[in-house]
Amino acid sequence: MNPNYKELFEPLTFRSGVTLKNRVLMAPMTNFSSNEDGSVSDAELAYYQERAGGVGAVVTACVYVTKDGKGFPGEFGADDDSLIPSLTRLASAIKEKGAKAILQIFHGGRMSPPDQLPDGQTISASAVAAERPDAQVPREMTEDDITRVITAFGDATRRAIEAGFDGVEIHGANTYLIQQFFSPHSNRRTDKWGGTLEKRLSFPTAIVEEVFKNVKAHTTEPFIVGYRFSPEEGENPGITFEDTLALADKLATYPLDYLHVSVQNFWSGSIRDKEDTTSRVVRIQEHIGDQIPVIGVGSLHTPDDVVKAMQTGVPLIAIGRELIMEPKWVEKVQEGKEDTIPTTLSKQDQEKLVVPTPLWQAIINTPGWFPVED
Amino acid at 258: Y
- All residues at 6 or more sequence positions from 41 whose CB lies less than 8 Å from its CB, including other chains: 33, 34, 35, 356
Q: Residue 334 is part of a domain; what is its CATH number?
A: 3.20.20.70
Phi/psi-derived region of residue 195, left when phi > 0, alpha when psi is between -120 and 50, beta in every other case: left
The per-residue pLDDT string of the chain (374 residues; one tens digit each, 9 = 90 and over) reads 999 999 999 999 999 999 999 999 999 999 999 999 999 999 999 999 999 999 999 999 999 999 999 999 999 999 999 999 999 999 999 999 999 999 999 999 999 999 999 999 999 999 999 999 999 999 999 999 999 999 999 999 999 999 999 999 999 999 999 999 999 999 999 999 999 999 999 999 999 999 999 999 999 999 999 999 999 999 999 999 999 999 999 999 999 999 999 999 999 999 999 999 999 999 999 999 999 999 999 999 999 999 999 999 999 999 999 999 999 999 999 999 999 999 999 999 999 999 999 999 999 999 999 999 98
Number of structural domains the chain divides into = 1
Q: What angle do CA 324, 178, 166 make, to 5 degrees?
A: 50
pLDDT of residue 150: 99
pLDDT of residue 299: 96
pLDDT of residue 374: 80
Give the domain extent around 115. Answer: 3-373
Identify the active-site residue in 47, 48, 64, 176.
176
Q: Which candidate, 282, 154, 292, 278, places its Cα nearest to that of 212?
A: 154
Is-catalytic flag, 176?
Answer: yes
